[in-house]
Amino acid sequence: MTANPLLQTLIPLVADLSRELDDGERYRRLLAALRQLFPCDAVALLKLDGEQLVPLAVEGLSADTLGRRFKVSEHPRLAALIEHRGPTRFAADCGLPDPYDGLVEGLHGHLEVHDCLGCPLYLDDQLWGLLTLDALDPASFGRADLDNLDAFASLAAATVKASERISGLARRVETERQLTELYKQARQQPRELIGQSAALRKLQGEIRLVGDSPLTVLITGETGVGKELVAEAIHGASPRAQRPLVSLNCAALPEALVESELFGHVRGAFSGALSERSGKFELADGGSLFLDEVGELPLAVQAKLLRVLQSGQLQRLGSDREHRVDVRVIAATNRDLAAEVRAGRFRADLY
């Protein structure tokens, strides 16, 4: 008796739902099963993020594909797949441009007449993303494949949901661990400004004055004069004192990592971004964020920092989704920022 090929393909995927697999391996197995059921040259799993589709896993497409973002309005084939609830097969001579032109492995140049099939994935009745299949043979897919892909898409959605739930739990555990460490540090005996000089008494009065306000604060002074101690005192004198004070030394990070550290990133945002990660702003939500050596921030990051200060909204690196945060920023620098503004190295509106 010949086994049903659809059943043979789906059984291992059902077993995978109970296994501890990272996202990359889980999605790799999903696409491998898809190509086993539908022999073709390229398959892809794409997640809808705002108005663009983000490739999470591909087979038969160049590795560069994972770094691309496909704006739905610019790719009519992808838009057509999203608009139709079930599987869609494009005619071999369809005139719509293919989003994978130049990306299919072993094929150089324009994608000629070929067979193309795709299906949207829904999680809890909400559109999540797409599965796409491309075959260079224009007669690869048939009517039965549409029904089989519909069944496969249901299990693919379950696979994605399991993966996202596991990843979400892992992110929550990591965030809770970081917050626990921050609260542990906050419960320790705070460092104090000790002294009786007139200058110190004036400083302590200014700390009490600004501590009780919601205003962003800039602390200036040479390296080693205790700017971080002043920042701790301001936070301790504020209504946010029972929430964490998160610190970031802007001068200690490579330029390529500063944005990710501040605002977080999504999976696939850059090489090595294997999972989503919260940035310092999200960790400091409800509390204060101390940005030491703020004058070292690149201009591009300064623009995003200004937006968060003005609107309380941020976007993780690689995502269009808005996150709202309630954070008081306390910044410090040993630079003359007015001179930096005149030299074009610091934004006047941020200063």
140 and 196 assigned to the same domain: no
Q: Is 135 helix (H, G, I), strand (E, B) or coil?
A: strand
Q: Which residues contact 280 (CB under 8 A, 6 or more apart)?
A: 246, 248, 261, 262, 289
158 and 43 assigned to the same domain: yes
- One-letter amino acid of 169: L
pLDDT tens-digit map of 229-270: 888 888 888 888 888 888 888 888 777 788 888 887 776 666
Q: Is 26 helix (H, G, I), strand (E, B) or coil?
A: helix
Alpha carbon distance, N-terminus to C-terminus of the chain: 76
Backbone angles phi, psi at 98, to 5 degrees: -90, 130
160 and 202 assigned to the same domain: no
CATH of the domain at 69: 3.30.450.40
Asked if residue 175 belongs to a domain, the reply is: no
Number of domains in the chain: 2
The pLDDT value recorded for residue 182 is 62
Asked if residue 347 belongs to a domain, the reply is: no
pLDDT tens-digit map of 45-99: 999 988 899 998 898 888 888 888 999 999 999 999 999 888 888 887 788 888 8
Asked if residue 351 belongs to a domain, the reply is: no
How are strands ordered across the β-sheet holding 115-123?
Answer: 70-71, 52-59, 42-49, 126-135, 115-123, 88-90
Structural domain boundaries, residue 243: 189-342
CATH of the domain at 244: 3.40.50.300
Q: Which residues contact 229 (CB under 8 A, 6 or more apart)?
A: 191, 193
> What region does 26 belong to: left with phi over 0, alpha with psi -120 to 50, or beta?
alpha
Opening angle at CA 74, ends 72 and 76, nearest 5: 75
277 touches 261 (CB < 8 A): no
Q: Which residues contact 53 (CB under 8 A, 6 or more apart)?
A: 46, 47, 69, 70, 72, 75, 78, 129, 130
Average pLDDT across each block of 10 residues of the chain; the chain has 351 residues. List them in order. Answer: 55 60 78 84 90 90 88 92 88 83 72 78 89 84 77 79 70 68 59 69 77 84 80 84 83 79 74 70 86 87 87 80 85 88 88 80
Asked if residue 201 belongs to a domain, the reply is: yes
What pTM value is reported for the model? 0.52
